[in-house]
Amino acid sequence: MTRRGAVTPVATLATGLAVALLAACTAPVAVPWDERKPALTGTLWRWTETLMSDARRTRPAAPERYTLDFLPGGTARVRADCNTGSGRYETGADHQLTLARMAVTQAACLPGSLGDTYLRDLAGVSGYRFAGDELVLMLGQEQGTMRFVPLKR
């Protein structure tokens, strides 16, 4: 028989479990992703510029006409000025990215189009990273970078 007000081992265990459960419910939960960070898939990316290692810079006059969309199944869709297309992509360790040859329409865009330049640069992509909300595609052999921002849908 226990005295009234005495602490028993069962009561101590119950109190400890209650405290642990309460702490677990109020502690922040670590998740394997950060919802605020951009992701390669699920975003329509708008090309803003390419900066080559020799300091040459290419900026489209109408960036919304140059987009890139990575679909979850490994397909990439592209708009290159007046042409559209798609192809396969693969990601690897350390943010490696390979874009396979794109099947693209062959419409004749207006003079001054950067469609061919844009597609040529995409074919040379070897990796990616994020700089804030921007997607930065690295060109192979450290030739330069292509920069993209999310296009508001």
Query: What CA–CA distance (Å, rounded) separates 115 from 103?
Result: 13
Q: Domain for residue 12, yes or no?
A: no
Specify the pLDDT at position 142. 86
- Domain range holding 65? 44-150
For 56, the 3-state DSSP assignment is coil
Q: Which of 22 and 92 is assigned the larger pLDDT?
A: 92
Query: What CA–CA distance (Å, rounded) separates 87 from 7?
Result: 70
Specify the pLDDT at position 13. 53
Q: Domain for residue 4, yes or no?
A: no
In the block, tokens 């479990």 appear at 17
Number of domains present in the structure of the chain: 1
CATH at residue 146: 2.40.128.270
Residue 28 has pLDDT above 50, yes or no: no
CB 151 within 8 A of CB 45: yes
Q: Domain for residue 129, yes or no?
A: yes
**Percentage of residues of the chain with pLDDT beyond 70:** 75
Query: What CA–CA distance (Å, rounded) separates 128 from 131?
Result: 10
Specify the pLDDT at position 23. 46
Q: Domain for residue 22, yes or no?
A: no
Specify the pLDDT at position 141. 87
Q: Domain for residue 146, yes or no?
A: yes
CB 117 within 8 A of CB 58: yes
Q: Domain for residue 9, yes or no?
A: no
Q: Domain for residue 67, yes or no?
A: yes
CB 98 within 8 A of CB 125: yes
Specify the pLDDT at position 37. 61
Q: What is the residue type of 102?
A: M
Query: What CA–CA distance (Å, rounded) separates 134 from 46?
Result: 10
Model pTM score: 0.74
